[in-house]
Amino acid sequence: MSKTFSDRLAAAILEKRSHVVLGLDPDYSLLPPEILGTGAGPTPSAEETCEAYRRFILPLLEALREDVVAVKIQAAFFEALGWKGVELFAEAVDEAQRLGYLVIADAKRGDIGNTAEAYARAHLDVVGADALTVNPYFGTDGMEPFLRRTRTEGKGLFVLVKTSNPSSSDLQDLVLADGRLVYEAVGDLVQRWGRDSRGGRGWSAVGAVVGGTHPAQAQQLRRRLPKVPFLIPGYGAQGATASDLQGLFGADRVGAVVNSARAILYAYRTGGKPWLEAAREEAAAMRRALWEVAGRG
Amino acid sequence: MSKTFSDRLAAAILEKRSHVVLGLDPDYSLLPPEILGTGAGPTPSAEETCEAYRRFILPLLEALREDVVAVKIQAAFFEALGWKGVELFAEAVDEAQRLGYLVIADAKRGDIGNTAEAYARAHLDVVGADALTVNPYFGTDGMEPFLRRTRTEGKGLFVLVKTSNPSSSDLQDLVLADGRLVYEAVGDLVQRWGRDSRGGRGWSAVGAVVGGTHPAQAQQLRRRLPKVPFLIPGYGAQGATASDLQGLFGADRVGAVVNSARAILYAYRTGGKPWLEAAREEAAAMRRALWEVAGRG
Q: Do B165 and A142 touch (CB under 8 A)?
A: yes
pLDDT of residue B240: 82
Chain B residues lying within 8 Å of A92, measured CB to CB: none
* pLDDT confidence of residue B236: 79
**Looking at the complex, does the CB of residue A74 fall below 8 Å from at least one CB of chain B?**
yes
Distance CA A82, CA A272 (A): 34
Active-site residue identified among B108, B162, B227, B273: B108
- Pick the residue from chain B with its C-alpha nearest to A115: B76
Pairing of strands A156-162, A206-210: parallel
Q: Determine if residue B254 is left, alpha or beta; phi over 0 gives left, psi from -120 to 50 gives alpha, anything else beta.
A: alpha
Digit-coded pLDDT (tens) for B67-107 = 999 999 999 999 999 999 999 999 999 999 999 999 999 99
Distance CA A52, CA A36 (A): 6
Evaluate whether B134 touches B156 at the Cβ level (below 8 Å). Answer: no
Cβ-proximal residues to B51 (8 Å cutoff; 6+ apart), any chain: none
Q: How many helices (H) and strands (E) does chain B have?
A: 13, 8
pLDDT beyond 60 at B216: yes
* Cα atoms in the Cβ-side hemisphere of radius 13 Å centred on B92: 35
Q: How confident is the model at residue B61 (pLDDT cuts 50, 70, 90)?
A: very high
Contact B111 A115 (CB under 8 A): no
Q: How far apart are CA A57 and CA A33, in angstroms?
A: 14
Asked if A227 is an active-site residue, the reply is: no
Check residue B234 and give its pLDDT. 86
User: H helices of B41-181, where?
Assistant: 46-63, 75-79, 83-98, 113-120, 140-152, 169-172
Contact residues for A285 (Cβ-Cβ < 8 A; gap 6+): none
Question: Stretch A11-33: mean pLDDT, rounded?
Answer: 97
pLDDT for B149: 98
- Collapsing DSSP to helix, strand or coil, B130 comes out as coil
Contact B80, A133 (CB under 8 A): no
**Domains of chain A with CATH codes:** 5-295 (3.20.20.70)
State mean pLDDT over B260-283. Answer: 95
Per-residue DSSP letter, A126: I
Q: Is the pLDDT of residue A283 over 60?
A: yes
Name the residue facing A76 among B115, B138, B166 (closest C-beta).
B115
Provide the pLDDT confidence category of residue A43 given band limits of 50, 70 and 90: confident
Query: Angle A140-152/A113-120 helices, nearest 10 degrees?
Result: 40
Facing residue for A176 by CB, picked from B116, B142, B177:
B177
Under an 8 A CB cutoff, do B176 and A172 touch?
no
B171 at the A interface (CB within 8 A)?
yes
Statement: residue A130 has pLDDT above 70? yes
DSSP A160: E
Among partner residues B83, B142, B143, which is closest to A87 by beta-carbon distance? Answer: B83
- Report how far residue B128's alpha carbon sits from residue B234's, in angstroms, rounded to the nearest whole number: 26
Cα(B76)–Cα(B58) distance, integer angstroms? 19
Q: Quickly state the pLDDT bin for A41 (edges 50, 70, 90).
A: confident
Predicted confidence (pLDDT) at residue B1 exceeds the cutoff of 60: no
Interface subset of A 184-223, CB within 8 angstroms of B: 185-186, 189
Tell me how far apart the alpha carbons of residues A180 and B201 are, in angstroms, rounded to a whole number: 40
Cβ of A119 within 8 Å of Cβ of B79? The answer is yes
Spatial distance between the Cα atoms of A292 and A144, rounded to a whole number of angstroms: 37
The residue count of chain A comes to 297
User: Considering chain B, what is the average pLDDT of its residues?
Assistant: 95
**Which of B90, B123, B176 minimises the CB distance to A175?**
B176
Cβ contact A162:A137 at 8 Å:
no
HEC sequence for A163-204: CCCHHHHHHHCCEECCCCEHHHHHHHHHHHHCCCCECCCCCE
**Can you give the pLDDT at residue A178?**
98
Please classify residue B287 by burial: count the beta carbons closer than 10 Å to its beta carbon, then call 0-12 exposed, 13-18 middle and 19+ buried. buried
Rounded to two decimals, the ipTM of the complex is 0.97
pLDDT tens for each residue of B164-176: 999 999 999 999 9
Measuring CA to CA, which residue among B15, B9, B70 is closest to residue B199?
B9
Answer yes or no: is pLDDT of A1 > 60.
no
Write out residues 125-164 of A within 8 Å (CB-CB) of B: 126-127, 135-143, 160, 163-164
pLDDT digits (tens, 9 = 90+) for B6-29: 999 999 999 999 999 999 999 999
Amino acid at A232: I
Percentage of chain B exceeding pLDDT 90? 92
Whether A287 contacts A67, CB under 8 Å: yes
Is the pLDDT assigned to residue A271 strictly greater than 90? Answer: no
In this complex, do B135 and A136 lie within 8 Å of one another by their Cβ atoms? no
